[in-house]
Amino acid sequence: MLVAWGRLFLVALAAVALLAGCASRPSAPEAAATPDYNYLIGPGDTVNIIVWRNPELSMLVPVRPDGKITTPLVEDLPAMGKDSSTLARDIEKLLSKYIRDPVVTVVVTSFVGPYSEQIRVVGEAAHPQTLPYKQKMTLLDVMIVVGGLTDFADGNRAYLVRAAEKNKQYAVKLRDLMKKGDISANVEMKPGDILIIPQSWF
C-alpha cells in the first residue's frame, strides 16, 4: 500500500514539475520577417548555372553533401552558406582564368537550405520532418506541411526552441490553432526553429 502511494506521489510530483516548466515558457513573439533575408544554399539544393554566351558551361548542378559543386572548368567550389549572387561572383572569378569577362547567373531551382536554417518538427506531428525555411513562414504553414497533430498530441504544451535567440523556448498553442482556428496562436517562424510537440498524458 505504501509503495502504491509512493508511486502515486511521484507521478503527481512529476506532473506538477511539468506544468511548472510549461508555465515558465513565454509565448512566442510576433517576429517580423527580416526584409533583407537572402536564401542561403545548402547540401541537396540544385543550382542552375548560366554562363552568358557559353552554353557549354551552363548547366544544372546538385550541391553535394559536402556543400560543394563541380562544373566544367570549376572543381570542388564551396557553395553551402552562400547566396546565389555570391556563388555567381565566385564562379566568374574562377572562369576568368579561361574565358574573357565571364558573366554568370545562378538560380536555385530546388530548395533544402543549410542545416542551420532548416525548421525541424519532432514529436506528435502526423509526419515529423525537416523543412526548408521560407521567409514569412508561419506556425500554421509548418503544421499544414507536417499533416497536423496525432491523436496522442498535447498540442497546447508544444513549444519552439529558437536557435536565433540562443535556444530560448517559447510556448505555442497548436491545438487552439489547429482545432479552434485561433489565429492569435499563429506565430512567425525563424531560421533554425525547432518545434517540439509532446505526447498527452491522458
Query: d(Cα 57, Cα 39) in Å, to the nearest integer?
Result: 24
Q: How confident is the model at residue 18 (pLDDT cuts 50, 70, 90)?
A: very low
Query: d(Cα 109, Cα 105) in Å, to the nearest integer?
Result: 13
DSSP code of residue 126 = S
Q: Is the pTM of this model over 0.85?
A: no
Query: d(Cα 73, Cα 104) in Å, to the nearest integer?
Result: 13
Helices (H), ranges, the chain: 2-23, 84-95, 139-145, 174-179
Contact 43, 65 (CB under 8 A): yes
Q: Which three cell numbers stand for residue 82?
A: 552562400
**135-186 tens-digit pLDDT:** 999 999 999 999 999 999 999 999 999 999 999 999 999 999 999 999 999 9
**27-73 tens-digit pLDDT:** 766 655 556 778 999 999 999 999 999 999 999 999 999 999 999 99
Average pLDDT over residues 22-27: 69
Q: Which domains does the chain have, with CATH numbers?
A: 46-110 (3.30.1950.10), 118-202 (3.10.560.10)
